[in-house]
């Protein structure tokens, strides 16, 4: 039986179009509002077609010393060019780019996962220090 952690893929986002890219400050003050942006296909554009697209992005925060991460958000992308006329005939295409805003008094790790309907689950992490 497959273990979920063995199915989460990662790579350098500069060479792989599926890895979620987490952008935001490396350090914040205690209680400061933190805004992070997550995107897929930053350096190399990911296809966004009915047949091949990013379905969702999930964002978690694991505070230092905590056992489990907090789920901050889940974003689903539901418009991939499909319409009643067929695949890729619509003019509406979701883009896998999101922002999350939260506060924390603890340092920790932001974790993001993205799901490609063809190439599966991808992950990345970013450490944030609270001073």
Residues taking part in catalysis? 16-18, 46, 52, 116, 119
Q: For residue 63, which of 105, 99, 20, 101 has the smallest C-alpha distance?
A: 105
CB-CB neighbours of 80 under 10 Å: 21
Q: How far apart are CA 102 and CA 34, in angstroms?
A: 5
């Amino acid at each position: 039986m497959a273990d979920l952690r063995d199915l989460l893929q990662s790579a350098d986002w500069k060479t792989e179009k599926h890895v979620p890219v987490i952008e935001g400050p490396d350090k914040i003050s205690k209680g400061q509002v933190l805004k992070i942006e997550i995107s897929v296909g930053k350096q190399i554009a990911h296809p966004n077609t009915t047949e091949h697209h990013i379905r969702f992005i999930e964002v978690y925060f694991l505070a230092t010393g905590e056992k489990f991460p907090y789920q901050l958000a889940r974003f689903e992308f539901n418009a991939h060019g499909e319409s009643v006329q067929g695949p890729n005939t619509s003019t509406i295409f979701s883009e896998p780019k999101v922002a999350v805003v939260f506060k924390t008094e603890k340092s920790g790790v932001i974790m993001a996962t993205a799901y490609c309907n063809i190439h599966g689950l991808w992950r990345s992490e970013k450490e944030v220090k609270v001073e």
